[in-house]
Every structure is written in structure tokens, then in C-alpha cells.
Amino acid sequence: MLFRQDVLRRIGEGGVTLAFRRWRRPTVKAGGTLRTRVGVLAIESVELVDEAHVTDADARRAGAPNREALLAGLPGEGALHRIEFRLAGPDPRIALRERSDISATERAELDARLARLDAASRHGPWTAAVLDLIAERPATRAPDLAASVGRETAPFKADVRKLKELGLTESLEVGYRLSPRGRAYYGYSGVARKRSRSSSKAGLRTPS
């Protein structure tokens, strides 16, 4: 479930605690969580609702001026769902990615985690080459980054999300950049460059 930037800002301020979506199948469930740029949302309820029961007060809680504007702005097909949530706290990945003091043990753990991602990939080792790409071309559109290494956008973005889970990258309004943790890991002892050369030999072209 995605939110516009202006709605995310208001979620962070506590002004938006409700959302409406047209879904064939819900993408969140009551009792679950959703990570966003402003923190982790606790999903308190997900209910089917008739349009006639949506009020102006509901619309304002969802960040719209009134029910007409809310309903007119809902994309997609399927049944109308009412999602109630609250801001539960900060995304733990934010604190992780802000840490630039990586110990030797953490570096070894990251080496191992990235090696496992490479080994599990159907398209060969990729982690070092993607770190290289993001380091050299921050704030570049994901389709452009993917095309530069001969990949489709959707699986490329899925790989970047795996790096984000490790606290190595962060999303921007457009594209990505290495986080402080990512820059620290990327720069130490030339490891990223060495692994990038290995990836290139395995068939994943790195940027020039």
C-alpha cells in the first residue's frame, strides 16, 4: 500500500490515520504492519465499505478535503476497503542505515549476507555491481539504472530493496543513494570494487 508524499508527511504529523483503497485482494491485514518513509504503521482494521457510508470526516482523516474528492481520486478496481492505522514508531531500518561506525564483525556479517544474496540469484552475482551503480549514479531513475546493466526494472528494484533491508541504501524522491552505513561498507578496504569485478566476470555488466 503506497501513499503520496504529502499524505506521508501528514501521517508523520499524526493528521492522517485512515486510508481507502479499491482492491481485488487486500495488500495489508489487521494486526500487521507497514513500513513507510515516516515510520512503521500498525494496521488496526481492514474492512469492506460501501461508498455511501464514506463520510466527509472519513475523507479528512484520509487526507482529502471531502468524500467526493477522496472517491474520485481512488485508482484501481475492485471493492472499496477502509484501512485504519496508527503510527507505531520509527522504521528500524532508518536507525540502522544512519550508523556509519561498522565494526569488523558487522563487515564480515554483511559480506556473508551479500554473498548469500549473490549465490541465491538466478541472474548471477549482483550486489557489488548494484552498490557500485548507486554510488556512482545517485538520484537516478530506477529504469535508467536497470537499463544501464541490461536488466528489467521490476527485478532490479526488488534487488535494491534487499540492499535497503540491510541498511545499505535509501530511497530518494527519484532513485537511490548509499546510506551512511552503505558508504562505510562500500568504501572499506576496496571490498565493493573487488566484488564488483567478480560480478562483472560472472556476466553482470558494471557501469563505466
Contacts of residue 65, defined as CB under 8 A and 6 or more positions apart, other chains included, come to 59
Instruction: Note whether residue 121 is domain-resident.
Output: yes
Instruction: Note whether residue 127 is domain-resident.
Output: yes
Alpha helices per DSSP H over the chain: 5-12, 56-61, 67-72, 92-98, 104-120, 127-136, 142-148, 153-165, 180-187, 191-201
Contacts of residue 3, defined as CB under 8 A and 6 or more positions apart, other chains included, come to 11, 19, 36
- Among 33, 55, 90, which residue terminates a domain? 90
Same domain, 62 and 28: yes
Q: Give me the CATH number covering residue 103.
A: 1.10.10
pLDDT per residue of the chain (208 residues) written in tens, 0 to 9: 999 999 999 999 999 999 999 999 999 999 999 999 899 999 999 999 999 999 999 999 999 999 999 999 998 889 999 999 999 998 888 889 999 999 999 999 999 999 999 999 999 999 999 999 999 999 999 999 999 999 999 999 999 999 999 999 999 989 999 999 999 998 864 444 555 444 444 444 443 3
Distance of CA 131 to the CA centre of its chain: 16
For residue 83, the model assigns a pLDDT of: 98
- Among 73, 90, 107, which residue terminates a domain? 90
Instruction: Note whether residue 72 is domain-resident.
Output: yes
Q: How much of the chain is helix, strand and coil, in % rounded to 5? A: 50, 20, 35
Number of compact structural domains in the chain? 2
Where in the sequence is the domain holding 60, given as residue range(s)?
Answer: 5-90
Quote the pTM value. Answer: 0.64
Same domain, 22 and 34: yes
Same domain, 38 and 54: yes
For residue 91, the model assigns a pLDDT of: 86
